[in-house]
Chains A and B, each alone.
Chain A
């Protein structure tokens, strides 16, 4: 889908073993497949069906999304960071598109 832009907010620094709050947001219509257009034809489903977050290759969250989830899905979760590394966030679209972004955390 055009113009889909992931956004994340991750602290750039943390102390070892600290639990940090991560916020993510992606703009997406999350078309449920249940609606009809003005001429009565069903609008095909197109949603983000999966969201994952990894830290240095290790899974932090892996979420399966369903059609009832609202437009522009927002996730907020906590993660414990043992060492300096990189978060990788991935959103999977029904149309096969994959949206990715990464974020570095420096642990002191």
Chain B
């Protein structure tokens, strides 16, 4: 009896806290994003059918950030991620490895990858398994250039994925979820809705049920990955998609899957599919 009273008391307090914060925690919807005065970014889009009503509409994480952070993304000069993109451009044109090739010698300019980022991760027809951009990059480096593979979360890898994402900015996310992709997508969905860790939290508990609310001092977004690799002000560096997954699962006090693991690849496909329709913003700026 006593326990019941305490529980309902706590529930009332929790409800009060959510109500009190709701007024100022809502996303800042009265704003539009145009990068460099020319690339129009779709930051609000209808939810794709496969979400089955889980979200009323898709809202980019950009709307959940403060005005100052949103402004940084409007202009490449103000976007700190572009410093890393510049470094990747230098690497792009640098010959490395035994074959005497650079990225540029086969692909020409990075613009060759316009649209590539929209469909990642994707089943590679060569071996029938799900590949992310990082794997394609390392495949090129090892097998075509004869160069050393980069670590998934290494600086040159994050820089290169940021460069490749940047040439697709403004294009809608559009990953495939049927056919060969279906088993991976199902596995990703299973992870998304599984409660992990001491906190017993699934991705959906925060990003579906509570987006717009505060989690302590942070503003919960819908958790889309259209802005990745993202420049996080907190880290003063780029953050990869898998690194962000690992951080979230760690925060539930669970043992995270490894960056680059099959489980995170499946989750990447599922989470990317949730953003189908939003523009690619990567490299975005977040807190």
Contacts and interface: CB of A to CB of B under 8 A. Distances in A.
A72 B78 contact: no
Given A23-B77, A23-B78, A70 B236 contact: yes
Contact of B77 (A25, A27, A70): A25
Contacts of B80: 72, 74
Interface string B66-81: 0000000000011010
Interface string A56-84: 00000000000000111010000000000
Interface in A1-37: 7, 9, 23, 25, 27
Contacts of A71: 236
Interface of A: 7, 9, 23, 25, 27, 70-72, 74
B34 interface: no
Given A23-B77, A74-B80, 12 more contacts: A7-B77, A9-B77, A23-B78, A25-B77, A25-B83, A27-B83, A70-B236, A71-B236, A72-B80, A72-B83, A72-B236, A74-B78
Interface of B: 77-78, 80, 83, 236
- State the majority secondary structure of interface residues on A: strand
Nearest to B90: A3
A69 to B, nearest CB: 11
Contacts of B83: 25, 27, 72
6 contacts: A9-B77, A23-B77, A23-B78, A25-B77, A72-B80, A74-B78
Contacts of A70: 236
Contacts of A9: 77
Contacts of A7: 77
Nearest to A76: B78
Contacts of A72: 80, 83, 236
A23 to B, nearest CB: 6
B95 to A, nearest CB: 18
A72 B81 CA distance: 11
A72 B233 CA distance: 12
A25 B83 CA distance: 10
A74 B236 CA distance: 13
A70 B235 CA distance: 10
Contacts of B77: 7, 9, 23, 25
B98 to A, nearest CB: 26
Contacts of A74: 78, 80
A72 B80 CA distance: 8
A64 B221 CA distance: 38
A87 B254 CA distance: 54
Contacts of A23: 77-78
In order of increasing CB-CB distance, the 7 nearest A-B pairs are A71-B236, A27-B83, A9-B77, A23-B77, A72-B80, A70-B236, A72-B83
Contacts of A25: 77, 83
Nearest to B72: A74
A25 B236 CA distance: 14
A7 B80 CA distance: 12
B91 to A, nearest CB: 12
Nearest to A24: B77
